Amino acid sequence: MPLVTTKELFDKCYGKYAIGAYNVNNMEMARAVAEGCLESKAPFIFQISRGARKYANPKLLKAVIKGISDTYPELVFAIHLDHGTLDACEEVLSEDPMSFTSVMIDSSHEPFEENVRISKEVVKLAHLKGVSVEAELGMLGGVEEDIAVSEENTFLTDPEDARKFVESTGCDSLAVAIGTSHGAYKFKSKEPKLHFDRCQKIKENLPENFPLVMHGSSSVPEYLVEEINKYGGKLEGSKGVPESYLPEVYKYGVCKVNIDTDLRLAWFAGMRKHLIENPTNFDFRPTFEESMRRVKELVINKNKLLGSAGQC
C-alpha cells in the first residue's frame, strides 16, 4: 500500500499538477473518494479534521482508512490532519503505530510570533516521526471547525512574512490566503477573484519548489445547489471558487487544493433526490449508494481539472 507523506507527493507534482485533498468523515465518503481516485488514477490526500475524529471516533476512522488501503492497494495517498491545534497534533503524533503521514497546525488566527512558536513546536515533534507539516499564514473567511472569520476580517498572506515564517518554522508546506474562503458562501459581497499575483510573489520569496496550499477551494457547483433546492433544500446565495481557476494553480507553486464543501453538496444532492423519488424506501443503502456515486463523479472531475488524473 503506497501510503506516503505529503512531502513526497509535493516533490513529485511541483510545477506539473496539483493534488486534491478530500475531507472524509465516514466509511461511505472515504470509499467514494478512494474509488474516484482509483478510477482516475490520481494520487490524493485523505483529510481528517478534528470534527471528523470526534464524529466517527479516531480508532474507527483509522480502521476505515486501513480497510480502504488494503482493499485498493493501487492507491497512492497521504493521511492528513486538517486544521489541527497544538493539542490535536500532539495527540495524533503520539499514536503508536502512527496513522497520519502529515499534519496541519493552524495557528493563523494568532499573532505572527505566536503562530511561529506553535508551528515550530509541531514541526519539531512531527519531523522526529517522519511526518510532514503544513502551517498557515494569512486569514481566510468563512467557518472552519470552531473558528468563524467574517469577510471584512480576512487578510492576504504577506510575501515577506511568508519568507520569515517558513525560515523560522521549518514547515514543509504553507497554506496561504489569496482570496478563497471556507464553506458554501464564499465571495458574499463581491465577484469571485483569486489573487494569483500575490501567490506568485509568495512563491518567489520562498525556497525553490516550496509547496503552497489552497484552502477553501470548493467551487460550490451551481447544478448541485439547484438540485438540492429542487428536492427541498434551501441554499440561497451560495458561491464558490470557479473551477476554471483549478487547472492553473500549479503554475504558482500550489501543490494541494482542499475540497470539502463540494463533497457534501454532491452527497446531499444524491441523497435528497433519491429520497424524494423513492418515498417508500426505508433502506439507507440505496440512498448512500446514490450519494457515493455522485461524490465519486465529482472527485474524478476535480482530479482531471487539477491535472492529477493519470499520474498513478
Mean pLDDT of 235-242: 77
- The verdict on residue 232 lying in a domain is yes
Give the relative orientation of helices 261-277 and 222-230 as an angle to the nearest 10 degrees.
Answer: 30
pLDDT number for residue 150: 39
- The verdict on residue 282 lying in a domain is yes
- The verdict on residue 312 lying in a domain is no
Find the range with the poorest average confidence among 94-103, 143-152, 244-253, 258-267. 143-152
Mean pLDDT of 25-50: 97
CA torsion through residues 94, 171, 104, 64, sign: negative
pLDDT number for residue 98: 83
Rounded Cα gap, residues 266 and 261, in angstroms: 9
Report the share of the chain in percent with pLDDT over 70.
90
Q: Which residues make Cβ contacts (< 8 Å) with residue 165, sequence separation at least 6?
A: 112, 115, 116, 119, 135, 137, 171, 174
Rounded Cα gap, residues 294 and 270, in angstroms: 6
Please give the mean pLDDT across all residues of the chain.
90
Active site residue 87: no
Kindly tell me if the per-residue pLDDT of 38 is higher than 50: yes
Mean pLDDT of 203-224: 92
pLDDT number for residue 128: 96
- The verdict on residue 45 lying in a domain is yes
Q: How would residue 187 be classed by pLDDT, with cut points 50, 70 and 90?
A: very low
Q: Using CA atoms in the order 195, 197, 200, 204, what is the torsion angle rounded to 10 degrees? A: -130
Find the range with the poorest average confidence among 38-42, 58-62, 217-221. 217-221
Mean pLDDT of 292-305: 97
How many residues in the chain? 312
pLDDT number for residue 3: 86
- The verdict on residue 169 lying in a domain is yes
pLDDT number for residue 255: 98
Q: What is the span of the domain harbouring residue 282?
A: 6-306
- The verdict on residue 1 lying in a domain is no
CATH number at residue 91: 3.20.20.70
Indicate yes or no: pTM above 0.75. Answer: yes
Rounded Cα gap, residues 287 and 14, in angstroms: 39
Q: Which of 70, 82, 161, 260 is catalytic?
A: 82
219 is written with which cell numbers?
467551487
- The verdict on residue 71 lying in a domain is yes
Kindly tell me if the per-residue pLDDT of 178 is higher than 90: no
Q: Tell me the range of 16-25, 89-98, 130-139 where mean pLDDT is highest.
A: 16-25
Number of domains in the chain: 1
pLDDT number for residue 195: 85
Give the relative orientation of helices 284-306 and 27-40 as an angle to the nearest 10 degrees.
Answer: 40
165 is written with which cell numbers?
515564517
pLDDT number for residue 139: 73
pLDDT number for residue 238: 67
Q: How would residue 188 be classed by pLDDT, with cut points 50, 70 and 90?
A: low
pLDDT number for residue 216: 82
Kindly tell me if the per-residue pLDDT of 125 is higher than 50: yes
Kindly tell me if the per-residue pLDDT of 304 is higher than 60: yes
Mean pLDDT of 154-181: 90
- The verdict on residue 301 lying in a domain is yes
